[in-house]
Amino acid sequence: MTKSPVRIVLEMIKFEHSVFALPFALVGALLAARAGGALPTWRQILWIVIAMVGARSAAMTMNRIADLKYDASNPRTANRALPKGELSVGFAWMFTLIASAVLVLAAWQLNPLALKLSPVALAILFFYSYTKRFTSWSHFVLGFCLGISPAAAWIAIRGSLDWRMLILCAAVTLWVGGFDVLYACQDVDFDKTAGLYSIPKKFGIAGALVIARAMHIAMVGLLAWLAFSFQLAWPAWAGIAVVAALLAYEHSLVKPNDLSKMNAAFFTVNGYISLLFLLFWGAAAVVMP
């Protein structure tokens, strides 16, 4: 059976991996509601989810468009839909525009500040796609793209921003940036040939693993600071312990001379981290200490 263009583009952007960002945004929404003394409404949660899915879909498709030349010449990515010709660039652009419009529509449904900031969010998301061309620190930009999600969710609920959300933004930035550093270790040789920049290329695979480990240790410290600043109950601290244990396991899977378990470290473990974080911190947000 021939796949539809929509199904192909959803597979290309790994639509199911929206799970990475959504839990942190929902925690931001729950903390915002806790600060206001009430749980978020189902309508607010629905539009936050729609906004997040629209934002990620637009960003991932834009990334594939921007990197088409590199994806086509990289053996690891040459089988993606655009390089293989399974999907036209025109359709990818149309999908990007529709997904961007979905984000703006969701922001409009939430509150005026969310609507005003939606173009800024899109600009940040699209900017990332070009950073590998001029900086080794593009991993932090990618991290920031997901890191703004808790702050965006807080704004969606409250119509303003609390400085404490910047702690969670920094934590998510380091989490995502750290596992992107790990993932980029697979492309060191290609990056050298193509003239692209990355931390693994700049510091070597062994050095990159140390940097990623330091980023994830700092993430755990930031989560502890956030839990303390909100005076969250014990589930938050249990969640931090679980996240720390999973991060340690993730790093144990990847070694300088053995990247064979990278997909397990990148997709499986990080999926568990985000979902369990939501479970524990969601409980902490509704339970008074």
Domain spans, the chain: 13-286
DSSP class of residue 212? H
**Among residues of the chain, what percentage have pLDDT more than 70?**
95
Reduced DSSP (H G I as helix, E B as strand, rest coil) percent helix, strand, coil of the chain, to 5: 80, 0, 20
**Among residues of the chain, what percentage have pLDDT more than 90?**
71
Average pLDDT over residues 151-170: 93
pLDDT at 1: 58
Q: What is the mean pLDDT of the chain?
A: 91
- Residue from 99, 137, 136 nearest 121 by CA: 99
Distances 49 to 25, 168, 237 between C-alpha atoms, Å? 8, 18, 26
At 69-97, the pLDDT tens digits run 999 999 988 898 899 888 899 999 999 99
pLDDT at 289: 60
Cβ atoms 132, 188 nearer than 8 A: no
Q: What is the number of alpha carbons within 13 Å of residue 82 lying toward its C-beta?
A: 25
At 255-284, the pLDDT tens digits run 888 888 877 666 778 888 989 999 999 999
Q: Which superfamily, per CATH, for 13-286?
A: UbiA prenyltransferase (1.10.357.140)
Cβ atoms 117, 155 nearer than 8 A: yes
Average pLDDT over residues 108-118: 95
- Residue from 53, 226, 39, 32 nearest 113 by CA: 32
Average pLDDT over residues 148-172: 93
DSSP class of residue 38? S
Average pLDDT over residues 29-50: 86
Cβ atoms 78, 64 nearer than 8 A: no
pLDDT at 259: 82
